[in-house]
Amino acid sequence: MVNGIVLPIKKVFSLVDSKVSVEIKDEKRKLLGRLVAVDEYLNIHLDETTEYINNERGRTLGTVVIRGNNILTIAPSI
């Protein structure tokens, strides 16, 4: 049964070059952008990034790099 388990890191690697929503440990802040790269520590590089605070659109940030230990969730965006 162990063969059926997908590790979270592999799932995140599969999201490279797609739109993702990233929730960070900063007062309900989310970033929406295209995942460019990820490493084994879940440090991520986003492009075309927009900031959302309390589900309200904020600034357009462009390219950002987020350290893995500051991330709460990473999810594919619709």
Domain total of the chain: 1
Q: List the domain range (segments joined by +) for residue 58.
A: 2-76
Angle at 47 between CA 40 and CA 74, to 5 degrees: 50
Query: pLDDT digits over 1-57, tens only?
Result: 456 666 788 889 999 999 999 999 977 899 999 999 999 999 999 999 999 998 899
| Domain CATH number, residue 32 | 2.30.30.100
Angle CA 55–57–63, to nearest 5: 115
pLDDT (0 to 100) of residue 1:
46
d(CA 6, CA 63): 29
